[in-house]
Structure 1
């Protein structure tokens, strides 16, 4: 069986201070960082033991993880495990990149995000170009903010044509996007309009909790980041018994990581294609 797994541990801090982010410049105690490190190492050890299944793993931390050595170590280790088809991480790319030389680049990918208030487009694009030159698979994302067309255009103009760029509509936002803004953002990311509105999901079949699930620092399993009910724990012998077909219990799904899992809709199909693009 091939499982898609989202890992989100105890880390909830970031070295950036973006105005739209609740984790900006949050500082954590040494005790909490130690707990997070132990949890990440335990998770990597568990994946190493799961040789009867195949895995696609995405680290989706609250904040920035790759400035922490234990996340870089985990990504490096997991990229070399034969049962791991792909290991990815969301990152603002502010960390050093020498550690990537020790990774299996056929299985590593980075979901990088450009934050124009924290780093220049020139510096960010230069690091992206450096990584692409080394053979690193990555995409570049931005939070699309009404009135911020120039920031988005500046980044797209500096990126190599083969680097996919994705845009997520700011939530919440001070004003709606104009028709011109939607059109211009959509020329850069054709799937951008699908991030403007929630997808109705109540009662619809969804493979989360069956072949896709999330894991937190304690090993607790949930269907996705948007359904809080715990369905099991990976550190128990019968963790597979927690996985079964289910329908969505929420009125709507507000993020493409969740919406891309929904079945039998054109929007979900489009978002699934978008999800695949982010990994290359």
Structure 2
């Protein structure tokens, strides 16, 4: 089976304190971090065994917080990128951690989904980190939440990044009808695919890869159909991919998050992103 696994462990803290993010307001105990580490080690053990079973995996670390400040995630990415049956390993990160370790990654498999948080890091420091990935030839996209206070910072970053690095803007959806037509045009000039992210797509009863070949794995091994449709469908270590896989139409009325709606085949997002769908790099930006 070709499967996509989104993995999220017990950790729920960040080294940034963005006012709109709940994870900036928590600090994990040593016990929680040790639990997170042991959960990841168990997951890694399971992944190693899947090659013999004929599975090909794409793995995305989608944490509640920032994981690359922890050695066990850096080591996991290095190892996963070197496994023959792992097609891709990607991580959501604010890119604040040191990047000397990235030279050990298999560059054809590793990718970074980088989030920019104006006010939490300087523009110069963030750009420097991005350029370290760029100079190593490691695939990455950069993105930020499109709140009005960040418009100028996002536009400046776009002007400073190399043209072949995709900068995406996540539509701010906490307020209905947040954007004016002029603001949509402005953000579309920065991110040519911004308007794909604005809608909350009708999804109830629609086909989706979630639960069929896309799985949302919690640290203890519990598997949910989707990060939003939180119905538990089984246990990774007990049921395995074959036992978990089943066509499961969406149980939510709407789907408005990129990591969810990209797996709805009727939206044909693969026509835009090709084989870089997971790390959100449109085909025209692939290097």
TM-score, normalised on structure 1? 0.94
The DSSP-based 3-state class of the residue aligned with 1:63 is coil
> What is residue 2 of structure 1 aligned with on the other side?
2
Q: Which has the higher helix share?
A: 2
For 1:63 and 1:163, how far apart are their aligned partners in 2? 24
1:234-253 matches, within 5 Å, as 234-253=236-255
Structure 1, 118-127 or 234-243: larger mean CA deviation: 234-243
Q: Partner residue of 1:41?
A: 41
Q: Which residue of 1 aligns with 2:138?
A: 136
User: Aligned pairs, how many?
Assistant: 279
- Identify, as 1 or 2, the structure richer in strand: 1
Deviates more, 1:22-31 or 1:37-46: 22-31
Matched, 1:28 2:28: yes
Q: In structure 2, do the counterparts of structure 1 residues 160 and 249 end up closer, same or farther at CA, with 3 Å as the change threshold?
A: same
What is residue 179 of structure 1 aligned with on the other side?
181
**Separation (CA, whole Å) in 2 of partners of 1:174 and 1:154:** 27
Q: What is the 5 A alignment of 1:211-230?
A: 211-230=213-232
What is the Cα deviation at residue 251 of structure 1? 0.6
- Please list every run of 5 or more consecutive structure 1 residues that lacks an aligned counterpart in the other structure: none
Instruction: Compute the displacement of 1:227 (Å).
Output: 1.3
Which digits, 9 at most, give the CA deviation of each residue in 1:24-56, with x for residues without a partner?
142011111110000011111110110111011
Does the CA contact (< 8 Å) of 2:94 and 2:117 recur in 1? Answer: yes
Distance in 1, matches of 2:176 and 2:257, equals 19
User: Quick one: structure 1 residues 147 and 119, their matched pair in 2 at CA, closer, same or farther if it must change by over 3 Å?
Assistant: closer
Q: CA RMSD in A?
A: 1.9
Distance in 2 (CA, whole Å) between partners of 1:270 and 1:193 is: 15
Tell me the distance in 2 between the aligned counterparts of 1:216 and 1:207.
18
Q: TM-score, normalised by structure 2?
A: 0.92
Alignment match, 2:73: 71
Other structure's SS at 1:101 match: helix
Deviations 1:101-124 (A, max 9, x none): 111111100111111111111221
Residue 246 of structure 1 and its aligned partner are, at CA, apart by 1.7
